[in-house]
A and B are shown apart, each in its own frame.
Chain A
């Protein structure tokens, strides 16, 4: 288990957004978070790379252990944590720089590299995000000139370039067309051979198609976490069954 979440409670001011969450996430697999809007999926995802730190008024209790280290311990450096735990957002958010510089941005933050080494790393990351063939001749062009789907794959390449172990994806296909979505879904499956992927999705078919494990949330609580197959075919909890059969949410 690469991620262990133990009795996690999160408050936005007075609002209790995550209630006693216990969850284990296995290595090199795709875990999908599903649940109705506002149930805390993004909040939990963002506790895994401490992106909630910057929001004023957030209070967190409990432990999150990643690769054996408590990430909320005082000696944890968030920069080092986020290098290990990458994130892809809902809206593609490439920097207003060239395609090359977008991918090279992360590695440059974490230390100097020789030009040749960096070139090699950029190419490897773009290949891993299956974008290399489309952009190899226009690496100097602005990232904003790419299509939405290409931009999202660029963001994946950018995240991979710092060589993380875990990749968090928050509804990363919801702003994209069906073809780009399919591409990114295939890519996600492919990446799960090397990386641990935790994704939030509103699309239950997507969760069923690409995830190994599925976690169902309701009002800040984990209702059910199981193998995707099991969860969709024979859910244990009545609320899970109601949700996946489309009776609410």
Chain B
């Protein structure tokens, strides 16, 4: 009966230094975390601010109209009168990325269904590493392969030079295949097994279960993968630039030279001086890319919320 009382009296004196050490450690940990978070926020805001201040300059200081930039067909920032129509680039960027997604999405879904439902063992040991390898290949290699294989093939098979939207989209589709497949595979793997069993137990075949339960249930996640793939394709510069031809106009067919926002920025930025109107106009294009990224992130967020429900 006496023992606990003594314990309580002596305890604070003994534990005090230990407690202090905890507080110091706690403080240090907190400090590191807050510092890193703050640094990241500062970096992000600086980038956004920098792009926005340069990218908005042509509209504010030089009186270029937003309408011209978004819908104008002629791009000649050095000319007299200067023209800032970026519609052909916007068109090229959207056309290549969306077409790439249209090509890659079915392939990615099929690959992930195959890896999770049909041959899990083969999928895990061979197909998945192979697809992940695709993600690690540098874009210049993709562009090179596209230029040496896809472009000649298209030139021989279809009318035109082979370069153009389709060549760009084909190269991009291979590049975004890992994104789409990996996300789809994760989604299919995380599907509760009870759902599949429930379907089989009612006498459903494997294909009925895949098409009526598995794909509809995981659809928001699958779309998330597609949107992230599009975002990656939208921002890819080098590989597309090597096979698209870089002619600044809206093409009449898939096999005619075209260009994208990213191609124009990489091609022209070396020829401009910092602070010039031309240079700032390129920043406007970068700003458009940034805003598109926001849109993609937003769409992904909305889809993710639907997954959780």
Contact = CB atoms under 8 A, between A and B. Distances in A.
A167 to B, nearest CB: 11
Contacts of A60: none
Interface string B212-223: 110011000000
Interface string B181-196: 0000000000010110
Interface in A124-182: 155, 158-159, 162
Given A96-B217, A105-B212, A109-B208, A79 B203 contact: yes
Interface in B160-201: 192, 194-195, 197-201
B204 interface: yes
Interface size on A, as a range, is 20 to 34
A95 B208 contact: no
Contacts of B216: 96-97
Interface of B is mostly: helix
B6 interface: no
Interface in A65-101: 78-83, 86-87, 89, 91, 93-97
B86 to A, nearest CB: 43
Contacts of B205: 79
B133 interface: no
A110 interface: yes
A177 B271 CA distance: 74
Contacts of A82: 200-203
Given A89-B197, A93-B198, A109-B208, A162 B192 contact: no
22 contacts: A49-B201, A51-B197, A51-B201, A79-B204, A82-B200, A82-B201, A83-B202, A89-B197, A89-B198, A95-B198, A95-B213, A95-B217, A96-B216, A105-B199, A109-B203, A109-B204, A109-B212, A110-B203, A155-B198, A158-B198, A159-B202, A162-B203
Interface of B: 192, 194-195, 197-205, 208, 212-213, 216-217
